[in-house]
């Protein structure tokens, strides 16, 4: 039986050429796997037909938009996960769901190898291959761009010489990855980190300087998950899509950052994540009134580590699974509504309410009805500062000798 290789297929030039390139280099049959995570553009059927037209013996396509929103974007929201304090893991969280379908397709079609289109300089090669190793330890991995020296110039020549049904162009200098959680842009003009992004880079967000009238929105959460917008029930996918539209129109969610890649280099990235950043802002403000202080402080540390693990391709790791359990436990009382105004590139919270809130008006007020016993504060301060006081007395005594 001829060996079969499953290829993560985007429908673009590189992966279309990779179908024939892999076949010629290995003698194997290629099964193209396309996964819709809300990246927009062509229909899955169009992508499927292109894969077959480029020489794939089978084409596996999956509409994973709800799966992606429910099982990957929502855990990211609950963790308030921002890699290095900026990046909402746009590409990092899409790779595990694609890996899951690649391994599923490999089992279904009897493939022994999984291929992806990543280079040797990026993070995605790690995310794909570590995920595949974890879910399919018996499967081998190859990367045509990295392992078979498939450059873009070679891909264009190959596509033209084989009359492949794919557009070939050198005009777009950027590398772009997108899904419903956000959009990532890199390379080209952006590699000089002094260069400001040009307007043509952006697609999910309008220019903040020319925003329409302010947009006030009420987002309702149940156990950390958005369940309604302005009183209208929504699924997680619908919540992201609606806020992509509304927050994007206000220029919310533009991120320009130089981040530390897993392979040891720094890389300049431009992200657009209007829905993700609006939801994260609302979610964090709701946590501020529903999660106990020490739990919230520790959760911030857990969320940072969670983001690092996911960025580094460890979605399926035991530690990530354990951190998930802690984060999920913290969300049981994250219920309620957040009112937020979006305008000029900002999403600003100006109202919160929750039946499970820890905010006590009678304890917080300075007006009549205050139930806080201020007479207890003096003794509390004495005890709270006791260890520092004793240490200071010791230091002064020793330094005076």
Q: Is 100 helix (H, G, I), strand (E, B) or coil?
A: helix
Q: Report whether 273 contacts 255 (CB < 8 A).
A: yes
**13 appears as a binding residue in the annotation:** yes
* DSSP code per residue over 197-225: PPGGG-SSS--GGG--S-EEEEEEEETTE
Query: Which one, of 204, 201, 221, 237, lies nearest residue 340 by Cα?
Result: 221
**46 appears as a binding residue in the annotation:** no
**d(Cα 324, Cα 326) in Å, to the nearest integer?**
5
**387 appears as a binding residue in the annotation:** no
Q: Which two tokens stand for residue 311?
A: 């960025």
**123 appears as a binding residue in the annotation:** yes
Burial class from Cβ neighbours inside 10 Å (0-12, 13-18, 19+) for residue 195 reads exposed
**d(Cα 156, Cα 166) in Å, to the nearest integer?**
10
**172 appears as a binding residue in the annotation:** no
**11 appears as a binding residue in the annotation:** yes
Q: Report whether 51 contacts 57 (CB < 8 A).
A: no
**163 appears as a binding residue in the annotation:** no
Q: Is 183 helix (H, G, I), strand (E, B) or coil?
A: strand
**271 appears as a binding residue in the annotation:** yes
**124 appears as a binding residue in the annotation:** yes
What positions carry a catalytic annotation? 14, 95, 124, 175
**259 appears as a binding residue in the annotation:** yes
**248 appears as a binding residue in the annotation:** no
What count of Cα atoms within 13 Å lies in the side-chain half-sphere of residue 303? 25
Q: Which two tokens stand for residue 82?
A: 């921002």
Q: Which two tokens stand for residue 238?
A: 């619908």
Binding residue numbers: 8-16, 87, 117, 119, 123-124, 127, 175, 259, 271
- Binding site members for L-citrulline: 87, 123, 127, 175, 259, 271
Q: Mark the binding-site residues for L-aspartate, compressed into ranges.
A: 119, 123-124
Provide the annotated binding site for ATP.
8-16, 117
């Amino acid at each position: 039986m001829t060996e079969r290789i499953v290829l993560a297929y985007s429908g673009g030039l590189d992966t279309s050429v990779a179908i024939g390139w892999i076949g010629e280099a290995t003698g194997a049959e290629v099964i193209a796997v396309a996964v819709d995570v809300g990246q927009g553009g062509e229909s899955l059927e169009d992508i499927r037909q292109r894969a077959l037209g480029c020489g794939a013996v089978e084409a596996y396509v999956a509409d994973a938009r709800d799966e992606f929103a429910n099982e990957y974007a929502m855990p990211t929201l609950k963790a308030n996960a921002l890699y290095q304090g900026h990046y909402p893991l746009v590409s990092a969280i899409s790779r595990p769901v694609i890996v899951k379908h690649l391994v599923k397709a490999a089992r279904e079609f009897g493939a022994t190898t999984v291929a992806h289109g990543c280079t040797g300089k990026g993070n995605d090669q790690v995310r794909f291959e570590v995920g595949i190793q974890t879910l399919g330890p018996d499967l081998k991995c190859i990367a045509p761009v990295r392992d078979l020296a498939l450059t873009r110039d070679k891909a264009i020549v190959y596509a033209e010489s084989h009359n492949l049904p794919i557009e070939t162009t050198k005009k777009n200098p950027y590398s772009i990855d997108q899904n419903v959680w956000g959009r990532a842009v890199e390379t080209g003009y952006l590699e000089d980190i002094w260069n400001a992004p040009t307007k043509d880079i952006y697609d999910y967000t309008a220019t903040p300087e020319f925003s329409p009238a302010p947009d006030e929105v009420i987002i309702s959460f149940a156990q950390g998950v958005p369940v309604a917008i302005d009183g209208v029930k929504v699924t997680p996918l619908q919540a992201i899509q609606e806020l992509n539209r509304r927050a994007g129109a206000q220029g919310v969610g533009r991120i320009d950052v130089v981040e530390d890649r897993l392979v040891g280099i720094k890389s300049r990235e431009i992200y657009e994540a209007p829905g993700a950043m609006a939801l994260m802002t609302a979610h964090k403000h709701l946590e501020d009134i529903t999660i106990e202080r020490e739990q919230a402080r520790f959760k911030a540390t857990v969320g940072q580590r969670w983001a690092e693990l996911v960025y580094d391709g460890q979605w399926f790791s035991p530690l990530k699974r354990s951190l998930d359990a802690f984060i999920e436990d913290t969300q049981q009382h994250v219920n309620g509504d957040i009112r937020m105004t979006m305008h000029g590139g900002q999403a600003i919270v100006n109202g919160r309410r929750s039946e499970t809130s820890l905010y006590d008006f009678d304890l917080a007020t300075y007006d009549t009805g205050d139930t806080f016993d201020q007479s207890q504060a003096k003794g509390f301060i004495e005890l709270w500062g006791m260890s520092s006081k004793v240490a200071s007395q010791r230091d002064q005594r020793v330094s005076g000798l």
